[in-house]
Amino acid sequence: SSVSPPTSSFSSPPPVSHFIGRKEDIVRAGRVTQLVNGCRDVLVLHHQGQLYAMDKHCYHAGGALQNGDIEEFNGLLCIVCPWHKYKITLAEGEGLYQAVDNPTARPLRTHWRSKGVKQRIHKVAEVNGDVYVTLNDSGEAIESDVYQTEKYRTIRP
């Protein structure tokens, strides 16, 4: 009779964390960028006591998110891309936009809506004052993936 191999709930190796820098340096700078694992341009932000990590190039057209302002929209902290002012939530990477329910009404009433997750968010953690990023390698495509190529990197370092 044949023996079936032991089953395991771990189908892939555990995720790897990558050292980004000392927390005190990141807090001082507010934001740092790094090519993580030789393959991913990541922006790490410190804002109001929280660390966030996301793809560095904006999902819209590859804008330099490290130069964006952080503002709150609809109660959600967002980075505002300096290129065309797209708003991306820090926590989820959702693209926000203002929708108009009735374009003929005056005054116009607008509401913030989500376009869904557009920017890949990565896990960031602090251990004894050191900050680490774990790349979010979920298989589903996210729009910001488009700008994570060797070719793009050489055009826009």
Binding ligand FES by CB under 6 A: which of 61, 91, 99, 108?
A: 61
Distances in whole angstroms, Cα of residue 52 to Cα of each of 42, 58, 90, 147: 10, 15, 7, 19
Q: Which residue, 87, 84, 142, is CA-closest to 118?
A: 142
Which C-beta is closer to ligand FES: that of 40 or that of 56?
56
For residues 120 and 52, is the Cβ–Cβ distance under 8 A?
A: no
Q: Residue 32 or residue 80: which is nearer to ligand FES going by CB? A: 80
In the complex with ligand FES, the residue whose CB is nearer, 81 or 96, is: 81
* Interface pick for ligand FES out of 36, 52, 63, 131 (rule CB under 6 A): 63
81 binds ligand FES (CB under 6 A): yes
Residues 95 to 154 in contact with ligand FES, rule: CB under 6 A: none
46 contributes a contact to ligand FES by CB under 6 A:
no
Query: Among residues 31 and 60, whose Cβ is nearest to ligand FES?
Result: 60
Q: What one-letter code names the amino acid at 88? A: I
Q: What is the total count of residues that contact ligand FES (CB under 6 A)?
A: 9
Q: 14: cis peptide before it, omega within 30°?
A: no
Burial of 116 (0-12, 13-18, 19+ CB in 10 A): exposed
Q: Pick from 22, 23, 83, 146 the residue near ligand FES by CB under 6 A.
A: 83
Residue 60 found at the interface with ligand FES (CB under 6 A) = yes
DSSP line for 98-132: EEES-TT-SS--EEEEEEEE-S-EEEEEEETTEEE
- Could you list the residues that contact ligand FES (CB under 6 A)? 58, 60-63, 81, 83-84, 86
